[in-house]
Amino acid sequence: MPLSLTDPVSNIHGVGPKTEAILNKAGIKTVRDLLYYLPRTYENFTETTTLSEIKPGKVVIRGKISDLKTSHTRRRNLTITEGVIRDATDAIRVVWFNQPYRAKQFDETKEYYFIGNYDLNHGHYQLISPKAELAVDVDRKNAHNSSFRPVYPARGAFKSEGFHKIIESIRPDFASIPDLFPKEVMAKTSARAEALFKAHFAENDNDIRTAREYLAYEELFELILASKLNKQENQKLQAKTIPFFPDDIKLFVNSLKFKLTNAQRLATYEILKDLEKTTPMNRLLQGDVGSGKTVVAAISAYSAIRSGHQVALLAPTAILAAQHAESLAKLLEPFNIKVALLIGSTKQKTTLKNQIKSGEVNLIVGTHALLTDDTEFNSMALTIIDEQHRFGVDQRQKLLEKTVKSTGLAPHLLMMTATPIPRSLQLAVFGDLDVSVLNELPAGRQPVLTKIISELQFVETLYPTVSAYLAKKQQVYWICKIIEENGQSDAVSVKKQARKLEGIFRKARIAFIHGRMKSNEKDDIMKKFAAGKIDILVSTTVVEVGVNVPNANLMVIMDADDYGLAQLHQLRGRVGRGHDSAICYLVTNHDQPSRRLKELEKSNDGFYLAEADLKLRGPGEIYGSLQHGALNLQFASLSDSHLIAAASKSANAFAAICAKEPKTLNRYPELMQCIKQYQQLTTLN
């Protein structure tokens, strides 16, 4: 009787209690888990390179090894084993680090296959820490099996060969693997069985490519379908209708001291039309740094308050919440709208919370203090969440419950982010959201000039520039990666850099800030910086999302190669927020700047940089933990726009079927289970 995907791994012949415990610890509990535990890479011993033709990169060579010796380094506590590999054409050096057993592993009279990276090491090209196998053993295996050998990620003492042996034992069961996709969207039968078989028993590169493509498609289908089903669920909810009064909105816009950009006008219109509906708005407002999201939020809040309701704005930090409260209070002051700030350090909380409960306060801006059980609203209809990826579902769920408690209905939800989201990521991850984009900067804002420099250029270039900015009474951000020296990193620390700058710019008022400080300490320093009482602020990335300081127009980012594009762009956005020109220096310790830094140097467009970052580093690095939990895609790339488009088409078609026949998904219990994890990446469900 063939194995079922839901069978425990203990049902597999040869898997005893000890192996089962190892597999379970690695998260492999069922046959399905094992089938989706794919090889990390593949070894192909037939594609050998002669030493006379060897080039840098991953290589497979066949030869004899001799002249083995082992040495130790005190400074780094390393064991280095070196030798020489020879074939009929030439000889190369080989080195292993912390593998002293290699010195006694080889018989100098026998041939071995070596697989590893041939690269520059301390000025010499060497084969670095290769895997080695006796040639006669490899040839014997290849005579009976494919020359492609899967290499599985090891789990503790359980190595690749152990996984290969278990997978080989269930080889006959692959033919009975059922399809995952509904027949409504996948015409080809046995597609999954073929893909998984090719993934584990590949015979060539094409097998690997087609297997991975199917599994990536499957993953994207699940992700996109989850977001579409979530949108359907959201549309079943009821929300307060907030009428769109054009004359009132014109009055508000005319009260502004600046002219809205076309992008702001369009985004505002989209939001106001959403608020008229009886289903809750679920919209993401994404705008580059300084694009004017706060004004759009203010107009949206004004519309809701004009209709007799309350609005809550949730910010990730106290200092950002305070900035929003101050900005919104100024914008809404002509209309007799009361704005309150509710954060951990707010005094007379009880009085304020009573005013919120009674409806005396119209707009409440705060941090997690908004979510406490004793914070009750009178009639909240609109929730605005800034830097939405910093909040999880549980936190948004609390706001939902508070709104339902105050009005009996779901809130309209406007989420804002200054991290531009690539189009492919929008389709795949945020399919349950409507998206508005602010892709224009307000009039008068100048792009930040970005320059890549090395520390060798500090005396001639950087220090004179800093002095010139200080002479103009303009302020400086100086970003460092670590707080203090720790012996584990060569990065420049905040504390050491602050001391160094005090010696160079003796008249400047210098302070430092970092994440380990208490909240009130950080807030105090940032307030002083915003008030112009600090000339140079040395900081970690804690200022990535921070107060608006229009007088800060110079930024220096040490060890810039260690950051992603999106984060560097966010940091750069702290300067140039007024009408003066601004410069951002990216300090590199490399001979050649990374591609990330070059991209940043040539562009101020956050949307372009987001796409570039996605291709360079993937979604996990760009978007951190998304709303809650890492987006751990095993096979798919969110930069593969063609595959996303195909999966989206199928997911949309199946979601439409599910909308007409709600019980359709019940016929596919495995698929239903698979998409549950992705449904946790949504807005309110």
3-state secondary structure 182-205: CCCCCCCCCHHHHHHHHHHCCCCH
pLDDT of 630 above 60: no
Average pLDDT along the chain: 85
CB 337 within 8 A of CB 251: no
Residue 479 burial (CB count, 10 A): 30
Chain length of the chain:
685
Q: Does domain 46-146 have CATH number 2.40.50.140?
A: yes
* CA-CA-CA-CA dihedral for 285, 288, 292, 293, to nearest 10: 20
pLDDT of residue 42: 87
Span 423-440, pLDDT tens digits? 666 666 666 678 898 888
Same CATH fold assignment for domains 246-276+292-417 and 449-603: yes
pLDDT of residue 133: 87
pLDDT of 621 above 70: no
Q: What is the mean pLDDT of residues 525-551?
A: 87
Q: What is the gyration radius of the CA atoms in the chain, in angstroms?
A: 30
Q: What is the mean pLDDT of residues 346-362?
A: 91
* pLDDT class of 393 with cuts at 50, 70, 90: low
Lowest-confidence region among 330-339, 441-450, 534-543, 654-663 = 441-450
* pLDDT class of 639 with cuts at 50, 70, 90: low
User: Residue 342 belongs to what H/E stretch?
Assistant: strand 339-342
Distance, in Å, from the CA atom of 440 to the CA atom of 446, rounded to the nearest integer, reads 12
| Winning range, highest mean pLDDT, from 130-144, 448-462, 630-644 | 448-462
pLDDT above 70 covers a percentage of the chain that reads 89
Span 340-353, pLDDT tens digits? 999 887 888 889 99
How many distinct helices (H) and strands (E) make up the chain?
A: 22, 20
Distance, in Å, from the CA atom of 616 to the CA atom of 574, rounded to the nearest integer, reads 24
Q: What is the mean pLDDT of residues 628-655?
A: 76
pLDDT of 178 above 70: yes
Residue 6 burial (CB count, 10 A): 13
pLDDT of residue 145: 62
* pLDDT class of 625 with cuts at 50, 70, 90: very low
Q: Which of 210, 148, 201 is nearest to 171 (CA)?
A: 201
pLDDT of 684 above 60: no
Q: What is the mean pLDDT of residues 614-623?
A: 55
pLDDT of 412 above 50: yes
pLDDT of 123 above 90: no
pLDDT of residue 292: 87
DSSP 616-681: HH-HHHHHTT-SSS----SS--TT-HHHHHHHHHHHHHHHHHHHHSTTGGGG-HHHHHHHHHHHTT
Lowest-confidence region among 232-236, 387-391, 579-583 = 387-391
Q: What is the mean pLDDT of residues 146-158?
A: 81
Distance, in Å, from the CA atom of 456 to the CA atom of 467, rounded to the nearest integer, reads 17
In the three-class reduction of DSSP (H, G, I as helix; E, B as strand; rest coil), residue 278 is classed as coil
Lowest-confidence region among 193-202, 265-274, 609-618 = 609-618
pLDDT of residue 624: 40
Distance, in Å, from the CA atom of 116 to the CA atom of 292, rounded to the nearest integer, reads 51
| Helix axes 205-234 and 191-200, enclosed angle (nearest 10) | 130
* pLDDT class of 622 with cuts at 50, 70, 90: very low
pLDDT of residue 242: 95
> Which residues pair with residue 603 across a beta bridge?
none
Span 255-313, pLDDT tens digits? 998 899 999 999 999 999 999 999 999 898 988 777 889 999 999 999 999 999 999 99
Q: Which of 323, 322, 319, 327 is nearest to 296 (CA)?
A: 327
Counting other chains too, the contacts that 494-500 makes at CB distance below 8 Å and 24 or more residues apart are 494/538, 494/539, 494/540, 497/538, 497/558, 498/538
Q: How far apart are the two ends of the chain, measured CA to CA in Å? A: 40
CB 280 within 8 A of CB 413: yes
* pLDDT class of 381 with cuts at 50, 70, 90: very high
Residue 255 in tokens: 């009260």
Domain spans in the chain, listed from the N-terminal domain onward: 46-146, 246-276+292-417, 449-603
> Which residues are CB-neighbours of 214 under 8 A, at least 6 positions away?
191, 192, 194, 195
Q: Does domain 449-603 have CATH number 3.30.2090.10?
A: no
pLDDT of 613 above 90: no
> Which residues pair with residue 680 across a beta bridge?
none
Distance, in Å, from the CA atom of 6 to the CA atom of 34, rounded to the nearest integer, reads 11
Q: What is the mean pLDDT of residues 11-15?
A: 90
Order of strands across the sheet that contains 475-479: 449-453, 583-587, 552-557, 475-479, 536-539, 510-513
pTM score of the predicted model: 0.69
Q: Which of 367, 432, 364 is nearest to 403 (CA)?
A: 364
Lowest-confidence region among 226-235, 381-390, 447-456 = 381-390
* pLDDT class of 627 with cuts at 50, 70, 90: very low
pLDDT of residue 251: 94
Distance, in Å, from the CA atom of 27 to the CA atom of 21, rounded to the nearest integer, reads 10
Span 78-114, pLDDT tens digits? 889 999 999 999 999 999 988 989 999 999 999 999 9
User: Residue 310 belongs to what H/E stretch?
Assistant: strand 310-314
CB 174 within 8 A of CB 191: no
Residue with more model confidence, 625 or 319: 319
Residue with more model confidence, 227 or 633: 227
pLDDT of 212 above 50: yes
pLDDT of 57 above 90: no
| Helix/strand/coil (H/E/C) assignment for every residue in 89-150 | CCEEEEEEECCHHHHHCCCCCCCEEEEEEEEEECCEEEEEEEEEEEHHHHHHHHHHCCCEEE
Q: What is the mean pLDDT of residues 400-409?
A: 78
Residue in the structure block whose two tokens are 């400074």: 75
> Which residues are CB-neighbours of 157 under 8 A, at least 6 positions away?
22
Span 68-79, pLDDT tens digits? 999 887 766 788
Q: What is the mean pLDDT of residues 407-425?
A: 79
pLDDT of residue 488: 59
Residue 6: φ, ψ to 5°: -90, -5
> Architecture of 246-276+292-417 per CATH?
3-Layer(aba) Sandwich (3.40)
pLDDT of residue 183: 77
In the three-class reduction of DSSP (H, G, I as helix; E, B as strand; rest coil), residue 282 is classed as strand
pLDDT of 628 above 60: no
